[in-house]
Structures are given as structure tokens and as C-alpha cells.
Structure 1
């Protein structure tokens, strides 16, 4: 009988991370290959091939391949959404122009703020006759003549990506389905996204933009999925923003669900790994070459949101709540017009990369500062990527002279600014959400994640930092820990006092039928399917909702009361008050949700026996490292450490995909699962 391997491949801006898991033995192989921004599919294929060689396996041994991709995210961040068209209800052609009245940073700081260009300009918005009310009842029939005229206009103008968002289609999709049939007949080359399939809930603006974003990324995403499917040695699963995976065929129907898929895998991988060590609630920090992503894990589960945005585009889909900042290893250091030192958000990327990569880079980056200060070795990936430290030193000296600083001070300043950029992102995901950051250990991973861990403990007052084993590949590992998952939503706005439990049962049953169909297409039998219910509630008159889990079983009066109780509790936890028992503030139900879950076999993390405490076996030498001054720091190989071993700073702990500079006054202890726990 052949082997059964599952491979996780996470394509980042600088490196493509790969983890191969033997499902029978539990053996794990990790590696990295350079990303190929011109065609990410090449880096994907290179990574899969390298993992197979290291594992001594054949393509036929691969049972499944899980992939986290940034193709959809990058198109939005780079604003490559040209050539879109919108079909909406007659009289609502200005929906994108009106948008929302929110202004960045508040009106006090935005006197001269101008709305950015709409995702679809006014002249590429077409309207059709027909009207539904908020219950789905038809007020005016669908006007096929205007629909045909709109379809032919798009065809004649060469507009091939079209979003359809008709008023109240969340309540009844009939008019949107009719519009799709017209487009198929009159404009068969068009790529069409319907709001009733992308986001079946109310709020016309957010639903319209989310649908248009789906249409914008669909051609590029489907082409990419087709290319990697051809090269994949087995069934391909793609990571979604909601913390689940789906087959490539299912993802192709709604490619918008893959935005932020890489960071989502990292947060899930971190939650899985550190939970075994007793850390149920943590802050995760995924430091890459281009950016740093932070998230919060509460009781073993990353927090979710539907109020996200990619670039300037609001995207209202279920996603792990992640804050991203341009503070990666490749972030460029530069002098502002005022003469101040700045770091990021622009990145040197994978090509040409930092100065020390020796690929023609011309700007100093965070990685260059680490190299010059001795905090990383003069090579990466176990010697596969040699670093030109002299080139980094020369570039840094020029920047330092321009700033009137010594080279060491300029390099230390670059790292200090980068640390504060990361700290501010952590504050945004914690303090702004009512969480005390000092209560949560930091899980630092990614190629550059552990590099500033000690400084972040000081800046934020965190109790500890946990550095998982193979931190540079944790996002790829996270791909192997997640279930197949799809989310379904239906809007039903009704006050609790007027709610018929039979309506809840009907809607939840419909949503579970949809989820069951998707899981059946993924190959999950009836006994393996799981369903998780939730509901969005608010007090009457509020603009936004609070989501709470809903119990299983037939909805009845007790079911309704339990969901309302959970809403009061969650509202009080989030905002410090609730209106429990106050008839002046009745509760209103807004959205009902179901997640269909197909469980997969997770990796097994084995606890290791303790060592004898002798750390001399891990020590490889001494290197001059600059912290607040130049010091002789012991250099250790992480893979030679045993559980219970303790190292004291100043020291540098090196491994294949990452490095931990251990500052003076800090210590690192290896726990039974191979995690380094850093404390003061």
C-alpha cells in the first residue's frame, strides 16, 4: 500500500512555504522556495516538487494538496479591478457614488478628503426595470427588454466582468437569476457574479461592492486555479478567509472567499499548535517579507468578522479578523521630506528584494538592518540563500549619512520603527476591541515574525512570546489543520416579540440543505457533515448587529430565548452594557447563518521527553550582535535543543526558516511540544 501525504503550500510575497504530512506515520517535512510573482503557479509547482523530493515520495502518494493564495488579495491591494460593469435596479444607478458617509480618521482630520474613484464608474452602470420589496414580494415584474438592452451594451462595449445586484434580491433571487439567463444568451463571454450567490444579506452598498469584487477577481483567480490544478499531483483544496478549505471547483464559483487566505491559515495553525501547550487565548503575529498580519485567538478559535476591507474595497464576507500592516522583512526604510526616518509600507518584495539578497535591490530594508546588526545569520534557509552583508552595510551607511546618524543607530532605528508598527497593529486588534493586550501571550511566526518578539514584549507589556517549531512554515502547516467549510446567510429582519419560531426552523433548514449539498459535492457522507448555526441580533434602532452562536435542535420558544440571552451577554461583553428585560429596547433579529463543516484528519503533535538541561550541544559559536550596544552573543541551533532547555540573552537561536534574537534580560525555554517560550 502506498503512502498518504497531505501537502500544504502557502504562497507569500517573498517565499512559498511548504509542509508535507505523512498521515500514517505523522512525519512532517518542511521547506521553502522563492515565490514567483510573475506567475505564482511556478512557485507552487516548485514547492510541491521540492517537498516530494525531501519526503522521498512520488506524486501518486499525495492524497490532498491544500493551498493558501494571495492572487485575489493582490489584485485588490494593487487596485487591478478595471473593466467592471454593474447591473442594478432602475433608479439605483448612483448606489456606488452615494456609498457610505464614513470618512477615514473622522471629519476632524479629513477636511480635504475626497472619495476615491468608485469600483465601477457611472457610465458602466446599467439598470433594469422590476422591483421587489424587503420581504421578496414582487412590486413590479422583471423587465426583460431593459435587461436585454443592458446585456447588449456590455457586449458591445467589451465589458466582460459583470456584477448583478438588484434591490432586495437577498429575500428572493428570482430577478437576479433571470438577469443571468439574459446575460448568458446575449453576452455568453461575460463572467457574471450574482449578489444572491455571493452575499445573500441586506445592505445594498456592501452587497454590491462585494459582488463586484468577486466579479473582478474571478477571471484571474479561475485562470490561476486552472494552471495549478494542472500541476497538482492530487485533489486541490484552497484556503478560504473564513478558516476553512474548499475544492478548487467550489472556490472557482466564489473566488472572493479566498482573500486573506494565507493569513487565515497562519492564525489557525498558531491556534492549533499552542493549544497543546495550554495557551487557549493568544495574539498571533505572522511576519513575512512584505507585511505582518496579526489576529486574536480566544479559547482556541480565531475571532471572525464580516466587516472587513481589502485595500479601499469593503468586503462583507466571513473572514478571520486580521489586521495587516506593511512591516515585513522587505519593508523599505526611507527618509521623508521632513528628514525623518520612515519604514514601509512599500516593500522590496521577492524580486529584487533587500540589498543583502544581491539581486539588484537598491533600497535599505528591515532585513538589511537585521543583517548588519548581526541578528540574522549571513545566509537564509540553511545556506540556500547567502546574504551579501557588505552590500547591506554600504546601503545602510549611505542612508545613515543622509539622516546624520551612525550606521548602527540607523539600523536600530529601522528595527524600532518596525517594532512599533507591529505593536500598533496588535493594539488595533486588541485594545480597540476591548481586550487588554497584557493578558495574552504573543505567538510569533513567519520568516520575520520572531525577530522583534523581545522588543514587542517590552513595548506592549505582554506576558510571554511563543515561537512554534518551524515558525517560517506555520501558515503552510495551518493549511493541514483546517476543515472543509462553507458559510450561508439569509436576512430576516423581525422583532423578537413578533418572531415565529417556525420561520427560524424553515430558514435554518434551507441553509443547512445548501450546506449539505456543498459538502456532498466535496465527498462528505451524511454522517460526516456538521452544521454550526449563528444569528445576528441588535436592539431596535441600532445600525449594526452582534453575532452569537445558536444551539442545535428544532427552534422553539426556548431556542429563541437562549439566542436572545446570548445576545445580551455578548453585547454587554463588547460594549459594557445591555438592555436585558428593558421593553423600551426590543431585540431585533437580522441575519441567520449556517456553516457547513466537513472534518479532516488533523496532524498529531507528540509531546517529547525532557532533556538533561545541557545546552552546550546546541551552541555553534559566538557572534557580535548589536542590541543597545555591540555584544558577544552565543549562537544556538534550535533543532539541537531539548524540552526543558533554557537559554539566556544575549543569544541568537537559528533554524531553517527563521531566527530568534534573544535580547539581554530575556530567556527562552523549550517546552514539551517544541515551542520556544520567551519571557523577561
Structure 2
């Protein structure tokens, strides 16, 4: 009998996490080492391992859902080669001018040096033709200069090209004509058009987003092709907006995957803790290379279009995530001034921390945990034995340079790492107008729970929730998300002058585009959902606030409801609004539609309570350093039952992660398998 196995695979910098969900609801999890030289190899290894564990064959796999860092890493590492840019005549310097801004203001940036542009000036070509902001043609498309530009790129061997003409969000005809010229004159080129990547105003952000799409397209398409060679199942790829898309569709728009892996973790956390009554939480996904934090409000991760990857602004819908280089593999080092520093450089998967015994030469956060006894002398249930002596020798050398005992140096490494994570959490909460003390922390990922107790102290959080199988939650999150595509049109008009017929026409066009994409994904008409939203601002403001638009006919009632929601959202965000104040009229800027194809989600079952005695899960004791060396009880998490409470000092171990429970803290297992940590 053929089974229906759905597999989620999240490729991180150190480990590739794999989760398989069988048709009967059985969940199986595992991990394999990542293969940075060719991530497709680690992906295939993960599929092969999970099939062995489940006793299934390739024909039993109904779908593979994948979170990937291929696009993200290419941008973070600035591996952007031979990229070309075509823009409107007279606007060749748009990338050089950018936003004329410097970090921290001009007074604090005397020594700031402008970073290199994503496309150097000599690889920018301008083409004649001009549209106005309504899409009306002021000058016709100049095919002669377009041909000259295409031939120049061909002769120079530039194979990835972004095209962004002025006001093409209003009418894409000139960009489509440029693509025809490139296809004829330079057929080997990979081309991205701004009218397809981001049909929204603001020329600089639209230009850079289009160029980022062109830059990652060859690498992403090559990666997906290598996966297709190794695995013959239908592949869905996680997008930054919290949805998935088929590999064929992602090949058309790889820019949408730039925060693929972190988005899956935030969604998985939201899905898991919602069952326990936690609608709004802060999520912390601790990996080997970095830590990603996000906020979930009323069950939904917050979204933004004002993100960036490395130094490149990327104006696409994405889950609002802050990433810091504070993972298990983050390297500890002594600065020239003699201070202890941690990260952002990581030992990664190869060679990895000193305790991995693979030739690592520098102490890491994982080494500090190992030396202090906070993690067991092996990972993944014994699959990865740790050389604690090697970690201690490395830390002794660093501690000698710092003039500290080895325990103080190791504890200092963990303290710095905790504060790095705390600062990221503050950035996603306090800087967004949220009181961090109102939100429980959901700690997951291989290293996420390791510093949970310290973060409760630093941030005065009410509790930390550690889900079941926290090391694989991002991979599990891939099985909880729908197919989703976003579409946008810029229509700048004051609310008093807005014709409901304009709303109806634009929303109808966007929903038609979304329906066409969902049809390509195999969703029949009765399984397609559409979510409307709009970006509004007060006239004279530079940026907008996005609010949901209700379903139903786009009439005066819908218009009034959206404006009411905008006033409410503006007041919630900034503490004031101009409701009923004619001196500050409301202006509509962008109209948006998300096309959603729902998938079947896992159906977890509630576990029966135990007898309240955690001793059945106790496996012994281990000497652990918190503020001093002390005996800590060691527990196996899978043997704990709902209602069991463990008191610190203790260490709770499981296959993919470990929770060190500091003195003065308790951890209680709830009915859904979550460990709830409180003071």
C-alpha cells in the first residue's frame, strides 16, 4: 500500500532538520549535518535518512516542503557576480544616489564610507522612453538604445540582468519590450523585470529588489535543479511571506525565498503554542550559525516590506525577523583592546566547534556549554560524540589570554551570547512599540533553549515555552503553512477623491493574477482564498501603514472600514491619529492581494496527564556550572508526562536539543508536550 508521507526539510548553517508526517498523523524527526559546499547533498541525505527511519520508499512521499538559505547566504556573503542593470535614460545614477542616507546620521558618521553598489556604475545601461506616474507614455520605448544595451551586456559576458524603468508599476509595456529585445539579442541572459518582481512605487527600492532577484536566480535555479536530480518528489519551497510555493514557481521569483528558513520557524512556533493558549509570543530560533527572533501577535507572525538582507534593501512581503550572529557555532575571540567578543563569525558545520573533533581551531558557544556541563557529551542521541577535552584546551588558551579562569571565560561567552540574543529581542519588540514583558518566549532550534533561563532574567519575560522536538520545529513549521502569493499595485489617491470603481478594478485584477497562480499550483476554484489589504498614510507622510481590507464588494462601506482600521492601527503604533481632522487627509498608496491555497495541517493530539512524579525520567546527575559548580539532576524529556515539574538546577535532554534549568527555575510539561519554564 502506498503511504502519503509529507516531509519538511530545513537546511541550516550547521544541521539539516527533517520531519516526516504520515497520513495517520505519526510524526518522525531527525537531523543530518549540513553540506555548505553543496546544500543539495545535505538535502538528499536528509530525505534518505527519514525514509530509512519511517520504512518508506520514494513513491510514498506525497510532497517535500523545504526551507532554504541559498538565496540568503548568497546575499549575506555578497557573492554577486557580473550583474547588469537597465534603467530609464537620465536615471543611470539611481543606485549611486540611493536614499542619500548614512547610518546613525551625518554627525556620527564622519568616517563612514559608502559601500559598493549592487551593480557598479560601468555595468548600468540607460534606455530611452518615458512613462508618467499614471502609466501614460511621454516618450516611446527606444528600441535602438535597447538593442545597444543588450549587445553590450552580451559582449561583456554579463549573464544576469535586472530591468527597472521609471513608473513601470503603472504600465509594464516598456519593460516587457526590453525583455523581448534581450531574449532576441542576448538569449543566454537571466532577466528579472521590476513589473514582475515588485509592482510598487519607490524606484530605488524597486530597482534593488529586482537586482537581488536577478542576482540569486542562477544560484537558486541551479540548486533546485540539483535537488530534482536527487529527489523525484514534488517540491514546495518556503517563502519569506509565510507561505510555500512549488519549485517551478519559485524559479520565476527566487527573491521571495530570502528569509525562507527563519519564516518556517516562526510559523511552526505560532502553530504549536497556539494550542496551549499562547496567542502572542516572542519566538527565538537558535541555530548553529545564527539566532532569529520574531513576534507572533494573535497567532500570526508580524509582516513587513521594509526588510533588508545584508546591505541590500529588499521590499517584498516577509515575516518581520531580526537575525544576529549568536548561534552555537559563534566563535569567541579576544579583541585588540583585550575584551571578550562572541560572533558574528561562525565555525559552521565544517569544521564546526572544537568539541566536534573535525579540526576546529577556535572556541565557540557550544564549546562553552560543553565545558560547563550544560549539554551532554554527545549530540543527536549519541550520533555526534563531543570531545569535551578539546573544547577545554581551546577555552583554556582563550582564558589565558584574557587572564580569567576557564569557567569564568566560558560563562562570559554564554553571558555575551545571551545579551546578543536579548538585544535582538528588544529590537523586534521595544523598537516596534511592544512591551517585551508582556510576551512569553518560545525557544527552539538546537541551541534556542540553552540560554532561555538567562533571557527570562535579562528581559523580565513571564515564561519561556520549549516545544516538543525544538531542534526540528522549523522543519515541522514547513508542514503547517499554505501556498501563498502576494500581488501589489500602487495607486496614490486621497481618500476623499477615491472612486470605489478604482478599488473594484484593481482588486479584481490582483485577484485574477492570484487565481491564475493558484490554478498553476493545482488548486481548484473552490479551494482558493484571497486576502486583501491596503497601505495608507496621512497626506505628507513618507511611509505607510498596512491594514487588512474586508471581503465583499469594494464599495463605500469597504473604503470607510479600511480608513477606520488605518486610524486605529496608526494610533496603536505611534500613540496618535488624526481621526475626523480634515487638516490631515488620508491617502491610499498601495492595494494588495494575497492568493492562498490551503493545505492539510498536522492534527496533534493532547497527551494524558501523568502522576506528577518526574523521577521516572531522571537518568542520574552531572556536575554543571551555573554561578558555581553544583550537582544537577539529568532528565530525559520523552519520559516526562504532562503535569510533571522539574526544579533547577537540572538538565533536560532530548534528541535535538537540551534545556539547562538554572537554580531558582522550574519547568512544567503541559498537555501538549511543551515545557513551560518560569522563575
Alpha-carbon distance, 1:113 to partner: 0.9
Q: Deviations over 1:459-496 (max 9, x none)?
A: 00000000000000000000000000000000000000
Q: In the alignment, is residue 553 of structure 1 matched against residue 547 of structure 2?
A: no
Alpha-carbon distance, 1:107 to partner: 2.6
The match for 2:3 is 3
Q: How does 1:508-527 map to 2 (within 5 A)?
A: 508-527=507-526
The match for 1:562 is 561
Distance 1:399 1:74 in 2: 29
Q: In the alignment, is residue 293 of structure 1 matched against residue 292 of structure 2?
A: yes
Alpha-carbon distance, 1:227 to partner: 0.9
- State the number of aligned residues: 679
Tell me the secondary structure at the aligned position of residue 111 of structure 2.
coil
Alpha-carbon distance, 1:59 to partner: 0.8
Q: Deviations over 1:232-289 (max 9, x none)?
A: 2411000000000000000000101001100000000000000000000000000000
Distance 1:106 1:662 in 2: 43
Distance 1:662 1:149 in 2: 67
The match for 1:496 is 495
The match for 1:63 is 62
The match for 1:528 is 527
Tell me the secondary structure at the aligned position of residue 241 of structure 2.
coil
Which is worse superposed, 111-120 or 178-187? 111-120
Alpha-carbon distance, 1:109 to partner: 2.2
Distance 2:165 2:422 in 1: 42
The match for 1:624 is 623
Distance 1:449 1:268 in 2: 16
Q: In the alignment, is residue 325 of structure 1 matched against residue 324 of structure 2?
A: yes
Which is worse superposed, 551-560 or 436-445? 551-560
Runs of 5+ unmatched residues, structure 1: none
Alpha-carbon distance, 1:183 to partner: 0.1
Q: In the alignment, is residue 442 of structure 1 matched against residue 441 of structure 2?
A: yes
Tell me the secondary structure at the aligned position of residue 462 of structure 1.
coil
1:72–1:255 CA contact under 8 A, matched in 2:
yes
TM-score (norm 1): 1.00
1:62–1:233 CA contact under 8 A, matched in 2:
no
Tell me the secondary structure at the aligned position of residue 278 of structure 1.
coil
Q: In the alignment, is residue 419 of structure 1 matched against residue 406 of structure 2?
A: no
Distance 2:100 2:165 in 1: 22
Alpha-carbon distance, 1:313 to partner: 0.3
Q: How does 1:78-157 map to 2 (within 5 A)?
A: 78-157=77-156
Alpha-carbon distance, 1:230 to partner: 2.3
Q: How does 1:171-182 map to 2 (within 5 A)?
A: 171-182=170-181
Q: Deviations over 1:428-482 (max 9, x none)?
A: 0000000000000000000000000000000000000000000000000000000
Q: Deviations over 1:506-541 (max 9, x none)?
A: 000000000000000000000000000000000000
1:84–1:159 CA contact under 8 A, matched in 2:
yes
Distance 2:325 2:672 in 1: 31
Distance 1:127 1:573 in 2: 44
Alpha-carbon distance, 1:103 to partner: 1.7
Computed over aligned residues only, the root mean square deviation of the Cα atoms, in angstroms, reads 0.5
Q: Deviations over 1:532-591 (max 9, x none)?
A: 000000000000000000011111111100000000000000000000011111000000
Runs of 5+ unmatched residues, structure 2: none
Alpha-carbon distance, 1:104 to partner: 1.5
Alpha-carbon distance, 1:106 to partner: 2.6
The match for 1:588 is 587
Tell me the secondary structure at the aligned position of residue 633 of structure 2.
strand
Distance 1:233 1:15 in 2: 23
Distance 1:445 1:308 in 2: 23
Q: In the alignment, is residue 378 of structure 1 matched against residue 369 of structure 2?
A: no
Q: How does 1:450-489 map to 2 (within 5 A)?
A: 450-489=449-488
TM-score (norm 2): 1.00
The match for 2:635 is 636
Distance 1:228 1:463 in 2: 43
Tell me the secondary structure at the aligned position of residue 656 of structure 1.
coil
Q: How does 1:397-412 map to 2 (within 5 A)?
A: 397-412=396-411
Distance 1:585 1:633 in 2: 62
Distance 2:418 2:107 in 1: 28
The match for 1:363 is 362
Alpha-carbon distance, 1:616 to partner: 1.4
